[in-house]
Each structure stands twice: as C-alpha cells, then as structure tokens.
Structure 1
C-alpha cells in the first residue's frame, strides 16, 4: 500500500479524475487551489459499495467496498453497530473473531472485504460501509436462512386399486418458511392437488405441512421438495406408493396370519415348558415336605409309645406289697403232701389228700418230723396291679 501526502493525493486525484466543474474553473483561470479542493472531495468517495447476500446459517458471508485512492478511514457496520475498522496508515482493526477482512489495492482504488464467519440468524440486517464523511456510505442487506428438516413418515405405502390416499410431508425448523412442491416420477404435480400450511414457532423458525391427495393407478414414486433461496439444491423426501391387487393382498394376509400363528405357537410352547418345570418343582417340594412330616410323626409316635411303656413299667414296679404276709418256714419231713394249685386271687385253703405221699427226702439230709398239724390260718395274699 502506497502512502502519500495529502497535497500529492489531491493533485493526483484532480489530474486523474477532473470534474466538469474543475475543468471549467481552469478555463476561466480561477487557479489550482479550487481544483485541489474539488479533487480532494472526489478522492474520498465510494466507487463500489457492498451488494446484498443470502447465506445459510453457519456459513460465511462476504461483502466488498471499493473507495478511490486517498481514503483515510473505512468502517464496517452491522445493523448500525461497528464491527470492523480499517485505517489507511495502520490497516484493519479486528475486535472479534467472527468479523475479519481482506484488502485489495491498485494504483487508483482500494477494496476492503468484510468476512462474517459462522453466520447466525440474528446477523440478518443492514451491512454498511462508511468512509466518515457526509454522503460517504453505502449499504446492503444480509439474509441468513436456516435449513430445517423434511420428512415423510413412511418410506413406502401399499394401497388398493382406485383408493384415494393422502401423503403428508412435514418441514420443521426453517427460516424462512420453505416453498414446497411435489413431483411424481420426475414430473411436477399440479398445485391444486396438494395443500400447504405454514406456522411459526417460538424460536423464530418456521414449520410447513403439505398434504397431497391422489388416487394412484400404478406404482408411483412421490417426491416432496422444499426450497429456500440460500439452498443451492432443494431438500427432498421420497415415498413409494405401491398399488396392490386382491391376490397380492390375500397372499400378504395369509403370510401375516401364518407368521402370527408361528409366533404364537413358539410363545405358547415356551410358556408351557416353563409351567411344566414349575409344576414338577411344586410336586417334588410337596413330596419332600410330606416325607419329612411322616418321618417326624413316626418318631413322635415311637417317643410317645416309649414314654407310655416306661410309665407302665414304673407303675408295675411301684406296686404295693402286703405287709401282713409272713413267709412260712421250711420244714423237711419224710413225706411232703401234694398241694393242689390254687386259683389266682382265691382265699380258700386246700388240705392235701391223705392218700397222696411224696417221695422221700434226699439221702444224707436229716428228716424232720411233720406230725404237727398245718396251721390253716396262714394265708398269703398277692396283689396284682
């Protein structure tokens, strides 16, 4: 970049770009001072200002401003707010990473390019180039647009012959609202066959809903297109509409039925197997509990029986004795009369018969006389419990 004194710049500007008024003054002999002043004013004018731009959000926006040689300061403003300053003797002064510039020089002009990085929806508005003099400004407009989403809920649709259907295409989160059109097999569909409604959300973005009504005769590929100015190519969503005959539908129904039958059979088989396992477990558990209960009952019965027997034995052992019983003394005689056995619990005394005689006593033992009478009063009582 060349730097010259103001007088030199004025002379160069006047000699290079003489105005009609300065030429007239020169012919009239009014001197060079007036021509210098006229030339100085011309040097600070804007030759080419910025032009309008439309970009997608997140991309870059570029604006150019060309001024005649001899300028001193140039300021870029966005919606009246200064965003970048360029000084002839210093160069650009950048205060934000989102706003930068590039410069292009030649011998007669200077071009400053403003670059806005990562454009946002609120960047839309007036872009102004100013050289800080009355009438020394030029402006353009920036439009930042948002590319939203476009969708058709189903990718394919099977319909019967001579059946009217509605296909819905939904555009969400656009700015501005997109222009929606329909195509079938690469041919535009008449706008009378579809209706499009637009609405604006709370975030400043727009939504659109387009409903196409048609009665397909053959299989068709339908395409919904949404376009805004900043999009180089329209965004699209596609659906295949298949026209099915009765045979196809019956086959489809049979296939669906058989599929459901198989699925249900598998499910019931699994559930039955699980229930069988649970039933077997319950039976085994009950048997184990019953066996354990029978064993405990037997042990309990044996224990009770043993206790009962012990109690009866104790009672028998603890029977009372007849304290009035006096045992008879043993008498040895030559003859021992035979005594007939008495019935139990009898109080009668039986006298031995005289015709019965006992055998003699063992040899070697003295015999005792038995000529004394038997005492009939001696009675032995036994109590049985």
Structure 2
C-alpha cells in the first residue's frame, strides 16, 4: 500500500512538471565525480536557481528520486536526499547508501531543461585484503631474503609499494604482478629482495583512489651475527688448505726451476769468463815472450858452422855449445879428439846439438 502511494506521488509530480516545466530556472552547479568504497554512502550535490519547480535525480539513465519545490521528495532506498536553501538558490544532496561494485555509473541532475542537465560518474572500489606470507624473518648478516606481499580481492587492482623503516624502497628491488580474480575483483603479489645489514621493519602498502590512506602491513626482520662453530672452523681451514697448498707447491716448483736456471747460467758465465781470461793470459804470455826474444840481446849474424870452421882453421879448440850459469865453465873437448874426428873422416855436425853459446859468453881459450 505504501509503495502504491509513493508511485502515485511520483506520477503527480511528473504531471506537475509537464504542466509547469519551469523553464525560467537553471542549474548553477551540477554533481561532481565521486569515488567511494563498496558499502559506503555516495553523495552528490545539485544547486539550482530560483524559479524551479521539480528536480529529478537519474541513475544509469532512470529516474530514481524526485524533489518538489515545496520540500517534499519521492524515492525509494537506497536513494534519499537533503535540501538546503540559501537565498534564491536551492541545493539538493543525493545520497546512495550501501553502494556496490555494480552501482558504478552515471548520476544526472535534471530540472526538465535539456540544456541544463548536469551529470557525474560514480566509481565504486573494493578494499581487499593485504598480508605478508611469512611473518617470521630471522636472517644472518648480509643474507639476501625474499619477502612476499599478497593483495586479494581488490577493485581495481591496487598499487603496491614497499618501505623500510618508513623510508621508500626503490621499485628496482621488488617485482609486482596482478591477475583477475572472481566477481570482477583483482589479486596482486609483490616480491621484495632485501639484504639487511641490521634489524629493520619492512612495510608493504597497497593504495587505491577510494582509500584516504594506503592499507599497510609490517613485518620485523631480525638480523643476527653468525656464530662460527668448531665444524665451521675446521671446514674453513680445510678449504683454505685445499686452495693454498697447491698454489704454494706450484710456486716452490717454479722457484726451484728458476734457481737451477740461474745457477746454470752463472756457471756458464763463469766458465766463459775463465776461458776468456785464459785466452787473454795466453796472448799476454806470448806477447811477453816475443818481446823478451826480441829484446836486443840476439846476434842475428851469428852462424855456428862458420864459427866452428874458423876455430878449426885457426887451431882453436871448439867449445861445446851449452847454456850454463855464470859459475859454470864451458866444457872443452881435447884438441886431439877434435882433430882425430876430423882426420878419420867423420862428418862434423852441421849444427851444435845444444843451443849455441852467445859470443859474449865464450871465454878465452888457448891455442893448441
């Protein structure tokens, strides 16, 4: 019965509009675009000038609420309105309660003047859930970890970003992906790679236009010093020995080879020096001997055969050629032996059997 009365009132209002359309009035300010969260109330304002009779709110092109100039209105939930008069103007505030994702669309304010229709758009968004998959992070110093943040059931897909101790983290340190879910909703996932030096608080945030501030979730990352155990020390020593010993052995072999090569080269060098020294000494000795031989004590005109013949002809006893010291006398053969050998037809030697006596060393001998 009540519904019939409302529709009867709306019909009468429309008849009134048709009989008195109010062409002298105009819309001063129309509704503005609104973005709201699902389940909240959407509000739109329409201000008209003096002289209006009927104001109609249309939703998705269909009339949903009618306001009469006497202050009464006709509509059904979730649509309602509040009127505010100020001087010669009137403002109607349309309220849409418990909006849903399917309510997104056009909202129009009309005073039955096609030139003065004003419209706006309603955008309904869904604030989904946000969580970090693992809330227990205890890591070693300088250890790289991955933190995964998951956003489920959002519309539209949220913008996900990270903060460390309330400081923004560069987007190069994390990767975000999005995928459509059910009922027109979206899911998102962001993976952060972090290498903390000290304990930090890491926050994952998701933002959409309808949220006054981003939704966030925080996890504490605890960094502890790695305590080396006895097994770790032994393992480290084993690794060091396995790496160092072959290198030391190779270096020792190289050092031994270098020492052998150096010693060999040194010996060859010493030998060459000794040979050169001996050659030089030999040349020096020969040069000295030649100098001594040609020192001026030689009698180049001396001929021992001529001297021997002269001595025989003169009856001088020949002296046996020999080299002797200053205290030695030349050995003299007896004259009779010399003559005997001559007259018996023996050939005298053409040269002395020994080195000839220097003329200066021939002493006085007596004649036979």
For Structure 1 versus Structure 2, the TM-score category normalised by the shorter chain is: 0.5 to 0.7
Residues 32-71 of structure 1: matches in 2 within 5 Å?
A: 43-71=24-52
**Offset of 1:136 from its aligned partner?**
2.2
Q: Which residue of 1 aligns with 2:81?
A: 101
Give CA deviations for 1:74-118 in whole Å, capped at 9, x if unaligned: 111111121111122562101x22100011113311111101111
**Offset of 1:154 from its aligned partner?**
2.2
Output the CA distance in 1 between the equivalents of 2:229 and 2:214. 36
**2:22, 2:51 within 8 Å by CA — same for their partners in 1?**
no
Q: Which residue of 1 aligns with 2:58?
A: 77
Residue from 169, 173, 180 that aligns with 1:193: 173
Q: RMSD over aligned Cα, in angstroms?
A: 2.0
The verdict on how the C-alpha distance between 1:41 and 1:99 changes in structure 2, with shifts beyond 3 A counting, is: closer
Q: Secondary structure at the match of 1:85?
A: strand
Q: In the alignment, is residue 92 of structure 1 matched against residue 73 of structure 2?
A: yes
Residues 178-217 of structure 1: matches in 2 within 5 Å?
A: 178-217=158-197
**Offset of 1:156 from its aligned partner?**
2.4
Q: Which residue of 2 aligns with 1:146?
A: 126
Give CA deviations for 1:314-339 in whole Å, capped at 9, x if unaligned: xxxxxxxxxxxxxxxxxxxxxxxxxx
**Offset of 1:168 from its aligned partner?**
0.2
**Offset of 1:161 from its aligned partner?**
2.4
Give CA deviations for 1:337-362 in whole Å, capped at 9, x if unaligned: xxxxxxxxxxxxxxxxxxxxxxxxxx
The verdict on how the C-alpha distance between 1:138 and 1:248 changes in structure 2, with shifts beyond 3 A counting, is: farther
For structure 2, the 5+ residue unaligned runs are: 1-20, 231-368
Q: Secondary structure at the match of 1:247?
A: coil
Q: In the alignment, is residue 117 of structure 1 matched against residue 90 of structure 2?
A: no
Output the CA distance in 1 between the equivalents of 2:228 and 2:93. 65
**2:34, 2:122 within 8 Å by CA — same for their partners in 1?**
yes
**2:134, 2:148 within 8 Å by CA — same for their partners in 1?**
no
TM-score normalised according to structure 2 size: 0.54
**1:193, 1:212 within 8 Å by CA — same for their partners in 2?**
yes
Output the CA distance in 2 between the equivalents of 1:155 and 1:167. 9
TM-score normalised according to structure 1 size: 0.52
**Offset of 1:245 from its aligned partner?**
2.4
**2:126, 2:156 within 8 Å by CA — same for their partners in 1?**
yes
Output the CA distance in 1 between the equivalents of 2:141 and 2:168. 23
Q: Secondary structure at the match of 1:135?
A: helix
Residue from 224, 247, 261 that aligns with 1:244: 224
Output the CA distance in 2 between the equivalents of 1:49 and 1:108. 16
Output the CA distance in 1 between the equivalents of 2:65 and 2:23. 24
**1:54, 1:145 within 8 Å by CA — same for their partners in 2?**
yes
For structure 1, the 5+ residue unaligned runs are: 1-39, 251-385
**1:44, 1:136 within 8 Å by CA — same for their partners in 2?**
no
**2:22, 2:52 within 8 Å by CA — same for their partners in 1?**
no
Give CA deviations for 1:356-380 in whole Å, capped at 9, x if unaligned: xxxxxxxxxxxxxxxxxxxxxxxxx
Residues 257-268 of structure 1: matches in 2 within 5 Å?
A: none
Give CA deviations for 1:24-71 in whole Å, capped at 9, x if unaligned: xxxxxxxxxxxxxxxx98732111101111111111111111111111
Residues 357-368 of structure 1: matches in 2 within 5 Å?
A: none
Give CA deviations for 1:208-233 in whole Å, capped at 9, x if unaligned: 10000111111111000111111112
Output the CA distance in 2 between the equivalents of 1:249 and 1:45. 85
**Offset of 1:134 from its aligned partner?**
2.2
Q: Secondary structure at the match of 2:99?
A: coil
Number of residue-to-residue matches in the alignment: 210
Residues 1-385 of structure 1: matches in 2 within 5 Å?
A: 43-89=24-70, 91-94=72-75, 96-247=76-227
**Offset of 1:147 from its aligned partner?**
0.8
Output the CA distance in 2 between the equivalents of 1:230 and 1:249. 54
